[in-house]
């Protein structure tokens, strides 16, 4: 079964073709980073307009390069939420128009649920291989025929808009266990980068600068770690970085390469430790020993490396970086499992900015 995926929830326009819910035939991603960089963050109106310009040409290219037409796909999977409402509407309405014109079912998919599904996608391209860490050791080749994880597993979603722990009981069956009470982890990376004048998005820049830094130089707080609940909070950590920036001055920090690296590394380590300690608490509570770390922040090199140090008694899976960032492959992949009950194109389907993960469709 061939599903065409459409993803437009934030600042990436993406179109993909996925076979039988797992095999990536193609996965096109057009990033809008350059468009939003000068504003220091995503401008919703500009994002929607860019999706409108890009989406149809990308669908055409995706089908043409695969040597097929819309008639050859079995269904269309589209992100219905959560995300920026204007951006979501472009994908939802385009998906419905295509589905109606070609007589294909249109399957709505929850974006966060899509991220949680990303570890299961496979490709002939080695760049799409997930990282697997078990009991502190890398074992990337230990992947069963059904994927690197077995249900139920724990999902840690870390992106620009979300930081949550979710018990994944099956494709489309989720229980939210905890989430951030203020900033998302990616938002914290972006805001700290802004304080240091490092540009947008901040995550990749901090990741790069932190590589030569001393993680212990600044003893930043590990928020919420001593509370029994599974919620996160990152705004206090950002304020702690702000107070160092105020004390030392941005110019002085920027002029001292080592100081900048140490500051980035210390901040990144605080985020990393909180994420893994909370994930461990969640796994202990649920007696679960498998963890998927997904979302844009899961691209972070220290977080990927630190899984072996912080999570000893469990298996941790990171999808390839392209599948951690927003992409349509994860949407089309999950749509395959959500296809029941979507016989004809439902023209009443609507986008929903705050769609909770407990409603996967
Ligand atoms: O999942 P994503 O592409 O979009 C959302 O759904 O939000 O995540 C984007 C977020 C941004 O905040 C970006 O700074 C962060 O992921 N990010 C990173 C890295 N790469 C992207 N954060 C830390 N380290 C990275 N290498
Ligand atoms: Zn996302």
Can you spell out the DSSP letters for 34-62? HHHHTTTS--HHHHHHHHHHHHHHHHHHH
The alpha carbon of 303 is separated from its chain's Cα centroid by a whole number of angstroms, namely 14
**Ligand 1 pocket residue status of 185, Cβ below 6 Å:** no
Q: Quick one: DSSP state of residue 27? A: E
> 312 falls in which pLDDT band (50, 70, 90)?
confident
Alpha-carbon Rg for the chain, nearest whole angstrom, is 20
Give the least confident one: 132-146, 206-220, 282-296: 132-146
Mean pLDDT of the chain: 96
The model's pTM: 0.96
Quick check: 90 pLDDT over 90?
yes
* Ligand nearest to the Cα of 296, by number: 1
Query: Could you tell me the distance, in angstroms and rounded to a whole number, from the CA of residue 54 to the centre of ligand 1?
Result: 21
Quick check: 64 pLDDT over 90?
yes
How high is the pLDDT of residue 344? 78
**Ligand 1 pocket residue status of 334, Cβ below 6 Å:** no
Query: Could you tell me the distance, in angstroms and rounded to a whole number, from the CA of residue 218 to the centre of ligand 1?
Result: 23
Segment 127-152 mean pLDDT: 94
Question: Among candidates 311, 324, 309, which has minimal Cα distance to 279?
Answer: 311
Query: Could you tell me the distance, in angstroms and rounded to a whole number, from the CA of residue 300 to the centre of ligand 1?
Result: 8
> 346 falls in which pLDDT band (50, 70, 90)?
confident
Cα-based distances in Å from 181 to 158, 161, 164, 223, 359:
14, 12, 10, 11, 20
Q: Which residue has the higher pLDDT, 38 or 211?
A: 211
How high is the pLDDT of residue 24? 98
Atom of ligand 1 nearest to the CA of 301: 26
247-290: per-residue pLDDT in tens? 999 999 999 999 999 999 999 999 999 999 999 999 999 999 99
Q: What residues contact 284, with CB distance under 8 A and at least 6 apart?
A: none
How high is the pLDDT of residue 252? 97
Give the least confident one: 33-37, 78-82, 96-100, 275-279: 33-37
Quick check: 239 pLDDT over 90?
yes
> 118 falls in which pLDDT band (50, 70, 90)?
very high
Q: Angle, to 10 degrees, between the axis of helix 257-286 and the axis of helix 235-248?
A: 170
Atom of ligand 1 nearest to the CA of 9: 6
Q: H or E element: which one contains 278?
A: helix 257-286
How high is the pLDDT of residue 226? 87
Reduced to 3 states (helix: H, G, I; strand: E, B; else coil), residue 16 is strand
Quick check: 30 pLDDT over 90?
yes
Q: How would you class 239 by CB atoms within 10 Å of its CB: exposed for 0-12, middle for 13-18, buried for 19 or more?
A: exposed
Give the least confident one: 39-43, 96-100, 263-267, 298-302: 39-43
How high is the pLDDT of residue 256? 98
* Ligand nearest to the Cα of 11, by number: 1
Quick check: 343 pLDDT over 90?
no
Query: Could you tell me the distance, in angstroms and rounded to a whole number, from the CA of residue 204 to the centre of ligand 1?
Result: 8
């Amino acid at each position: 079964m061939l599903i065409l995926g459409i993803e437009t929830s934030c600042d990436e326009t993406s179109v993909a073709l996925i076979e039988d819910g797992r095999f990536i035939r193609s996965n096109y991603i057009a990033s809008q980073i350059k468009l939003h960089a000068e504003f220091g963050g995503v401008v919703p109106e500009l994002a929607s307009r860019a999706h409108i310009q890009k989406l149809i040409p990308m669908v055409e290219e995706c089908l043409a390069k695969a040597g097929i037409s819309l008639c050859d796909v079995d269904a269309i999977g589209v992100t219905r939420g959560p995300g920026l409402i204007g951006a979501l509407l472009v994908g939802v309405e385009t998906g419905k128009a295509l589905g109606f014109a070609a007589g294909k079912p249109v399957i709505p998919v929850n974006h966060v649920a899509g991220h949680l599904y990303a570890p299961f996608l496979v490709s002939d391209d080695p760049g799409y291989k997930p990282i697997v860490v078990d009991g502190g050791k890398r074992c990337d080749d230990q992947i069963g025929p059904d994927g690197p994880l077995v249900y139920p597993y724990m999902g840690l979603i870390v992106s620009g808009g979300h930081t949550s722990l979710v018990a994944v009981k099956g494709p489309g069956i989720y229980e939210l266990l905890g989430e951030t009470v203020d900033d998302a982890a990616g938002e914290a990376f972006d805001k700290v980068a802004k304080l240091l004048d490092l540009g947008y998005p901040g995550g990749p820049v901090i990741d790069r600068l932190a590589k030569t830094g001393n993680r212990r130089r600044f003893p930043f707080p590990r928020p919420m770690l001593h509370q029994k609940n599974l919620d996160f909070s990152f705004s206090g950590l950002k304020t702690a970085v702000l107070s160092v920036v105020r004390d030392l001055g941005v110019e002085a920090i920027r002029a001292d390469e080592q100081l900048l690296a140490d500051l980035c590394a210390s901040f990144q380590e605080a985020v990393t430790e909180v994420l893994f300690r909370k994930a461990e608490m969640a796994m202990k509570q649920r007696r679960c020993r498998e963890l998927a770390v997904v979302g844009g922040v899961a691209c972070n090199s220290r977080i990927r490396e630190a899984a072996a140090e912080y999570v000893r008694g469990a298996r941790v899976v990171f999808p390839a970086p392209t599948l951690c960032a927003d992409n349509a492959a994860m949407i089309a992949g999950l749509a395959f499992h959500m296809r029941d009950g979507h016989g004809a194109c439902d023209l009443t389907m609507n986008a929903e900015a705050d769609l909770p993960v407990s409603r996967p469709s």
